Amino acid sequence: MAHRILIVDDEVDIVESIKFRLELEGIECLTANDGEEALAKAKNERPDLILLDVMMPKINGYKVARMLKFDTNYKDIPIIMLTARSQESDIKIGKETDVNEYVTKPFDIEELVILVNKYLDK
């Protein structure tokens, strides 16, 4: 069975480039462009992993992560935060929301693939 991940970012080019690369790995990719859509898709589709941007319209990534991690039905879905915010205070907030990894932009797509595969046990 193919793994499914949810890629969430308001920058469509980032979503498309990550999606293209992960589909080469045989991973099914769902996408969302804002926090509200991300939350709905996470709950309806139950992906194996979520790549989540921080700065987004409607609901930011920290709130999305918090809402999922504090819900017993979804707390086990690994979340990798992707963000341009690389200051210690931002990373600290990321850790407080229980995200599994915190990756700062710009990131190396191949390193991201390795990280995704680590959580998918591929």
Query: Does 8 score more than 80 pLDDT?
Result: yes
Domain assignment of residue 73, yes or no: yes
Cβ atoms of 102 and 83 closer than 8 Å: yes
Domain assignment of residue 122, yes or no: no
Chain segment 42-97, per-residue pLDDT in tens: 999 999 999 999 988 899 999 999 999 999 999 999 999 988 766 777 667 767 78
Of residues 102 and 6, the one with the higher pLDDT is 6
Residue with tokens 């709130």: 63
Question: How many other C-beta atoms lie within 10 A of the C-beta of residue 102?
Answer: 20
Beta-carbon contacts of 87 under 8 Å, excluding residues fewer than 6 positions away, are none
Domain assignment of residue 20, yes or no: yes
Chain segment 10-34, per-residue pLDDT in tens: 999 999 999 999 999 999 999 999 9
Which CATH number does the domain housing residue 91 bear?
Answer: 3.40.50.2300
pLDDT value at residue 96: 76
- Residue 98 banded pLDDT, cuts 50, 70, 90: confident
Query: Does 122 score more than 60 pLDDT?
Result: no
- Residue 2 banded pLDDT, cuts 50, 70, 90: confident
- The C-alpha atoms of residue 95 and residue 101 are separated, in whole angstroms, by 8
Domain assignment of residue 48, yes or no: yes
CA–CA distance from 51 to each of 40, 104 (Å)?
15, 12
Per the structure, how many domains does the chain have? Answer: 1
DSSP letter for 100, please.
Answer: S
Q: What is the DSSP string of 33-88?
A: SSHHHHHHHHHHH--SEEEEESS-SSS-HHHHHHHHHTSTTTTTS-EEEEES--SH
Domain assignment of residue 121, yes or no: no
Domain, as residue range, for 9: 4-116
